[in-house]
A and B are shown apart, each in its own frame.
Chain A
């Protein structure tokens, strides 16, 4: 029952954190078609705020007067380095704070999961009137602090080590583009502080089986070297898991599904070469065992060019 990750970055954004990161709003993340050129390192910070009042208890939508509005604030550092213009390595690490506006439960805060990604573009060709590029992306994320997972919906994360495998295709005609990606997320089991828990049956153990995730993401919009404006649609599914029972608290291995839509904007500041700002928002259209979150985000990024390379990304695929 976490908000969708409104992840962003001129450089990467991750947010494997917020539960199911369906939405990667904005440029140059592990889910977009933006590559850093060789020896350029883009680094920056971003902030997001996400909140929900209604959530789905199984498939039934409800509110909870003992939680009020559950909000999540995230501040993260992200980076993206171009090993070559076809191979980028990305990282991200967020600090997360949660709070419930009503009831008595204590909010949580802390550094969450470190994400590391390799993004590879093996194919980029003129096809028809546009440019088609294909990507293979692999990522791993894991908790870097001992935060509590078994305290949903206020826990800052799930604690599983996730291995994400993603295939992505991008097609750009003039300044208009569409990117589609599909992901499979293998999640490790987690350990919780309790030594027994009930799902749909009793488990006399502190280990929790975490079902894998599947996700897809579509982004369409306008993209030039100066700016990107895009609309996003994504879905995430938990491949297994169980529904929150009536008036129960959520649990890390719930079946958390969601459909989210959003927008993303990025602008490269003219006055300072390599400086860019990003912003965006998303909304959960439908879900199961998750909050109906509205999220906003913003960030600022700067490209450090090593070995005298020009500060640039390949926002616009080169014409071949």
Chain B
């Protein structure tokens, strides 16, 4: 009997050990991608319509040294020397970066946003400190990458990368210097070969543009950004994809183009979006003067509203009058029966908090310490773009359309929020306990709905066969805010529509930019 019991114990111990036996390491969905092998090279992308550049030659790229020259041969030999004894770490970075430059820099940006998406802790006197761009490493760290800040960051990095690549593709075609492995057949090539001319390097263009934008947007993270940049450039030489002069010309072009975007960003009014006490008070008193109940922060202690003047930031896709024209009509009056009914609905939803509601709410919450809703849509887009084998320039163009729409959606949404200054459901009824945190800005219109409506519209244009999927996702993202009890249904319905309206500007741009689909 005793032996049987002991045997039983041993068998049970083995059975329960099995789930623990393997390594715990968790892989990300994009850790182990095949190298990007574009379905078409888009060699004529130098003719595509740029965003800010007056044309592809605004920042000239010097003619490359010829492939027969001793200097070029020396650069080919540099590749060969590096390849002579590749370490496993070097093979890993080749694999990582070969999945796509636009993809990887978008992922890095998402990571920086998530890292920095943390609201500052209050001061001893219950006021809140503001991050300081000129002292980014002091607490509170600069930036607080909240959704509007993030939307703008994604917009600028994507648009700058796109313009820089259009210029790069123009010079690729103009100078037509072949990739080193097409010049010298003895170069070992560790990525898929391409007929696309390699000067200037499209990877270095993306790297240079991204690094330059990130100096402005995440000035405290230069150690990490520079380390990634060095790794990226080295990966291209190690892979035999580029000689050093391809890299240098590409990086210089990327930086120069990005500088133009940096200059725009410094003057786009985002720097003043935080506002001041007088402006915050005026929004409140204006709302009360209209006879409406004014929004109040539900944070304890009360926190100043998030970027209340973001609505006047300069959009990419339309001018400021158009931005105002995209503002929807008012929400139900705060004293109306309709508003009471929608508040009651929020209470009902939070007291009927099913597990499925939590799944939906938390999947889409994209709150504190996440890459925000625009980042979530970038992740959704990126994972679908991977399956499409876009060229780097098409990746950039599609990301730019998406992220300019997201930034402009944030502008229209924030303009609307602070124009109406409408309370959250919990302000109307404190019994409403929410399934995720209540964002610190007015309710109407839902930011998630606006971002999602815009993203689904743009992505449905880029990948039409997925339109039903994107629209269903946007609807679920929108509904998640109702289930959570942090929005009224009318916030979300209007948000989806406004988002779609903004998204259509990006679609129309895409239809006219010469890239086709």
Contacts and interface: CB of A to CB of B under 8 A. Distances in A.
A245 B434 CA distance: 23
A43 B213 CA distance: 65
A245 B369 contact: yes
Interface string B272-314: 0000000000000000000000000011110000000000000
Q: Is the interface of A mostly helix, strand, loop or mixed?
A: loop
A20 B288 CA distance: 50
Contacts of B153: none
A161 B15 CA distance: 13
Interface string A89-109: 000000000000011111100
A205 interface: yes
A106 B353 CA distance: 9
A197 B362 CA distance: 11
A246 B121 contact: yes
Contact of A104 (B355, B358, B426): B426
Interface string B342-374: 000000001001010011001101001111000
Interface stretch (A185-193, A259-267, A275-283, A287-295): A185-193
A46 B370 CA distance: 39
Given A192-B362, A193-B362, A247-B121, A102 B26 contact: no
Contact of B27 (A140, A150, A194, A205): A205
Contact of B363 (A193, A209, A248): A193
A210 B24 contact: yes
B458 to A, nearest CB: 20
Given A87-B5, A248-B369, A150 B118 contact: no
A212 B207 CA distance: 39
Interface in B83-117: 107, 110-111, 114-115
A148 interface: yes
Contacts of A204: 28-31, 107, 379
Contact of A118 (B9, B115, B300, B433): B9
Contacts of B393: none
Given A150-B362, A193-B362, A209-B24, A107 B369 contact: no
A197 B369 CA distance: 8
A241 to B, nearest CB: 12
A16 to B, nearest CB: 14
Scoring B29, B350, B369 by chain A CB atoms within 10 A of each residue's CB, the highest score goes to B369
Contacts of B5: 83-84, 87
B298 A104 contact: yes
A245 B31 CA distance: 25
A176 interface: no
B300 A66 contact: yes
Contact of A196 (B19, B118, B370, B437): B370
Contacts of A66: 299-300
A112 to B, nearest CB: 14
Contact of B111 (A84, A189, A198): A198
A103 B297 CA distance: 11
B360 to A, nearest CB: 8
A242 to B, nearest CB: 12
Interface in A170-222: 186, 188-189, 192-198, 201-205, 207-210
B376 interface: yes
A87 B121 CA distance: 53
Given A83-B5, A246-B121, A246-B140, 11 more contacts: A65-B301, A84-B2, A105-B433, A150-B362, A151-B362, A161-B19, A163-B17, A193-B363, A198-B114, A204-B28, A247-B119
20 contacts: A66-B300, A103-B300, A104-B426, A105-B437, A106-B485, A107-B433, A140-B16, A163-B20, A186-B20, A192-B362, A193-B362, A194-B363, A194-B365, A195-B363, A198-B115, A204-B29, A204-B107, A248-B118, A249-B368, A249-B369
